[in-house]
């Protein structure tokens, strides 16, 4: 009887460990519904938000409890491309690592395409401290193919890419495009609750974001974000209001009813992004106006 009770307790503990965050997620989606009322993006119906909540309940444990702690070393960088093409630089977001990108890496390997990636450290440091890590990954990516790579970024990773672009002389000529997925380009409502450095930098109307935008406009006053593709969702439970994940003049693509982590693996996001990568080698790299 004691063993049975212990077994039940162990099972209850496992369920709590794996799915206890579901309530927190639910509160986030309540906030999404309220905050997005004032956003110009189409609002997600209540049933769509419920579906997105359940989607994130299932997807997030795979990422945070399996791929990132135990599988992040799988599928190493610097794989030799099997055919000509551009390489990809993967840049993850807040409290993540390169393990986030394993589904993308498998797909690129199947297509014979090269990639590099980063682990953004220190985890809670300033976004500006990630610039050398990204610069090194870009150098490795270009060495693999001889062509400017494409940056594919999730969440905070898109801000790290922007920070690298403004801090590194000639960076704009060293890449082809930047794909951001659920990036808080204008901050996020949840940023007000953060007490760590990079979390504070993602606050709406914050000084760090304002300074970043000012430097971008100074360096590239015309076509500042013309080479950005920004995926965003009206059910993103981390980056909201929804339009905060867009940039003026960028190719902004809405994916309705998809949560934050799940957005990185949405079939349309992967399909269209991979198609763009596959066709990039046959077209000359665009250049923004100076």
* Prediction pTM value: 0.92
* Alpha carbon distance 281, 262 (integer Å): 28
Say what angle helices 156-167 and 131-145 make with each other, to 10 degrees: 80
* Alpha carbon distance 182, 250 (integer Å): 14
Domains and CATH numbers, the chain: 88-280 (3.40.50.1820)
Residue 287: its pLDDT value, please?
A: 42
* Alpha carbon distance 128, 160 (integer Å): 7
Residue 2: its pLDDT value, please?
A: 40
Residue 235: its pLDDT value, please?
A: 98
Q: Show the tokens assigned to 221.
A: 């006053």
Residue ranges in the chain modelled with pLDDT below 50: 1-3, 286-290
Residue 83: its pLDDT value, please?
A: 66
């Amino acid at each position: 009887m004691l063993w049975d009770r212990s077994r039940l307790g162990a099972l209850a503990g496992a369920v709590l460990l794996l799915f206890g965050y579901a309530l927190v997620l639910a509160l986030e989606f309540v906030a999404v519904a309220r905050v997005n009322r004032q956003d110009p993006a189409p609002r997600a119906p209540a049933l769509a938000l419920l579906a997105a909540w359940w989607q994130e309940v299932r997807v997030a444990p795979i990422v945070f409890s399996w791929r990132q702690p135990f599988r992040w070393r799988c599928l190493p960088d610097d794989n030799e491309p099997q055919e000509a093409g551009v390489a990809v630089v993967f840049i993850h977001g807040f409290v993540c690592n390169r393990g986030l990108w394993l589904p993308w890496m498998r797909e690129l390997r199947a297509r014979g395409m090269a990639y590099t990636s980063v682990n953004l450290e220190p985890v809670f440091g300033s976004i500006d401290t990630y610039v050398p890590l990204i610069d090194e990954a870009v150098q490795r990516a270009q060495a693999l193919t001889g062509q400017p790579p494409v940056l594919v970024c999730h969440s905070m990773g898109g801000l790290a890419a922007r920070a690298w672009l403004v801090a590194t002389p000639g960076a704009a000529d060293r890449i082809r495009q930047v794909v951001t997925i659920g990036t808080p380009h204008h901050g996020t409502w949840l940023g007000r609750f953060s007490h760590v450095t990079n979390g504070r930098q993602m606050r709406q109307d914050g000084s760090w974001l304002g300074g970043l935008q000012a430097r971008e406009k100074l360096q590239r006053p015309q076509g500042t974000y013309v080479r950005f593709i920004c995926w965003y969702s009206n059910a993103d439970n981390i980056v909201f209001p929804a339009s905060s994940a867009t940039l003026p003049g960028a190719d902004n693509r809405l994916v309705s009813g998809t949560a934050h982590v799940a957005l990185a693996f949405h079939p349309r996001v992967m399909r269209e992004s991979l198609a763009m990568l596959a066709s990039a080698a046959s077209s000359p790299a665009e250049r923004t106006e100076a």
